[in-house]
Structure 1
Amino acid sequence: MPEPSSPTRPDPICREGLRPRFWEKVSLKNLTPKEWEALCDGCGKCCLNKLEDADTGEIVFTRISCRLLDDETCRCAHYVVRRTIVPECVQLNPGTLGDVAYWMPITCAYRLLWEGKTLYDWHPLVSGDPESVHRAGISVRGWTVPELDVPVEDWEDHVIEEDL
């Protein structure tokens, strides 16, 4: 796994409406809505269906994606209205993060910052390039299976063995 970014790294391309290196200076609860959304690296991992062991609480990821995930962009195809289509979709915000961080990917910026860690060099906020997450092999681009194509009872056959 890549090493987290260095805090002395030069600022990436400054995006309009975002404070420079806000993720290092501002607490999650004090981010603007635009800054909060910018934390998403576009990997698509949070849109993978997960299985939880009822006895141990262990979470495993599957390569089965939410029906709304666009496998090419690794983004929700209907983000604004996603909860009307998929009511169980988690609305991630500073208030819910503490309850769901444990099942988020270990590379997720929201989880990393929640745990007091730094962003990785490939994160678009650090690299200044939204494609860096895909080039680094971090995203799910091109290898997911839509959930409507696999019966729920077969999801265990699609468990991903690596840590995400």
Structure 2
Amino acid sequence: MTSDPFWKTTRLEEMSDEQWESLCDGCGRCCLNKLEDWETGEIAWTNVACKLLDADTCRCKDYENRQQKVPECINLTPKSVRALTWLPPTCAYRLIAEERDLYWWHPLVSGDADTVHLAGVSVRGRTVPEAGMEPEDFEDHIVEWPFEPVEG
């Protein structure tokens, strides 16, 4: 008899810290700078990476202290996950909140942390650093790829 994995049986609010953290697939998409149109609320994605994003691993360089070092960094919680409109459609937090399953390349499904990169879902090799860039220059780096559908 096989039991269903925790993400199919446990609500976000009921997950342990270890379960919650394991939902992050390491794509790095949430660590891209976004621009919001003040009039429409529309979000435009850029390929400009947060200064704490490691471009090779697609993980935060200082996860524990990220909100002190980057005050605009949003702490994901069950409540915020349900309210944020800019989370990528492939984001495990979003998928679980919407009662959907994880994609085949998610490390919890594949058993391999590299499948998110091998599947082309991560930001690895597709970002520019924000260091030295003026925020008004971010609009020169608007991209469409964070919302590409992922098949498989």
TM-score by length of 2: 0.90
- Unpaired runs of 5+ residues, structure 2, are 148-152
Counting only pairs closer than 5 Å after superposition, residues 20-39 of structure 1 correspond to structure 2 as 21-39=5-23
Tell me by how many angstroms 1:131 deviates: 0.3
Which of residues 120, 141, 144 is equivalent to 1:137? 120
State which drifts further: 38-47 or 145-154: 145-154
Counting only pairs closer than 5 Å after superposition, residues 50-69 of structure 1 correspond to structure 2 as 50-69=34-53
Q: Which amino acid aligns with 2:133?
A: V
The secondary structure found in structure 1 opposite 2:145 is: coil
Task: Find the counterpart in structure 1 of residue 59 from structure 2.
Answer: 75
Aligned sequence identity (%) = 53
TM-score by length of 1: 0.84
Q: Which amino acid aligns with 1:93?
A: T
The secondary structure found in structure 1 opposite 2:21 is: helix
The secondary structure found in structure 2 opposite 1:112 is: helix
Tell me by how many angstroms 1:110 deviates: 0.5
Which of residues 98, 107, 121 is equivalent to 1:124? 107
Would you say how many aligned residue pairs link Structure 1 and Structure 2?
A: 146
- Unpaired runs of 5+ residues, structure 1, are 1-10, 12-18
State which drifts further: 89-98 or 129-138: 89-98
CA distance in 2, matches of 1:163, 1:66: 15
Is 1:88 matched up with 2:72? Answer: yes
Tell me by how many angstroms 1:136 deviates: 0.1
